[in-house]
Structure 1
């Protein structure tokens, strides 16, 4: 199986857990979903690595997507602010991850590593 579905699961689990953590500040029962979500995220992330994705690439995509999706969802669910500067930050994060991904493909090609 390809790593991408596992990575999507890791991202969605982590974002859900982080949003549940925010909800747990008012209602402690949400802590259960927080623990389950973070555990699932790391299990999925381990599956991504077993599929052969480089850890720098996997972690970069996971972290960048998590930051962006969590901030956007928190704005909708918890009425947290979003600013233009934050938007520029999201663009910079995505650009950085794309550069890491591009660099990893070039490194694989130059070393002859085919995955």
Structure 2
């Protein structure tokens, strides 16, 4: 159950972050509203994940790492932002670090 709620937290944070870009400095009402609602849902869901017993280090690493990776992909694919090989390597390292935290906690 905790991982399902964590997925909600991640997707809400990604929605809010992408909407932040689309809000153009909070000058567009719909994306601006999505920023506020998205972050409220994301932090509420993350709090619920911690209450469900997922360790804070693991939960935050998955939340932040997945968020960074998804926003980078969305920026590249849908928003026309460029990404270099070094940036891709950085994303791979972030994901590897999250996996290491998760696997290390299982022992």
Scaled by the length of structure 2, the TM-score of the pair is: 0.93
d(CA) in 2 for partners of 1:34 and 1:76?
20
d(CA) in 2 for partners of 1:79 and 1:56?
33
CA drift of 1:85 comes to: 1.0
CA drift of 1:6 comes to: 0.3
Q: Deviations over 1:35-73 (max 9, x none)?
A: 000000001101111111000000000000000000100
Equivalent residues, number: 105
d(CA) in 1 for partners of 2:75 and 2:39?
17
Q: Which has the larger radius of gyration?
A: 1
CA drift of 1:96 comes to: 0.6
1:25 is matched with which residue? 24
Scaled by the length of structure 1, the TM-score of the pair is: 0.87
2:52 is matched with which residue? 51
1:112 is matched with which residue? none
Structure 1 residue ranges without an equivalent (≥5) = 107-115
> What is the RMSD of the two structures over their aligned residues, measured on CA atoms?
1.1
d(CA) in 2 for partners of 1:5 and 1:102?
18
Q: Does 1:15 align with 2:14?
A: yes
1:71 is matched with which residue? 72
Q: Deviations over 1:67-105 (max 9, x none)?
A: 000010011221001111111111100111111112212
Structure 2 residue ranges without an equivalent (≥5) = none
1:41 is matched with which residue? 42
* Misfit runs of 4+, over 6 Å: none
Corresponding residue SS for 2:68: helix
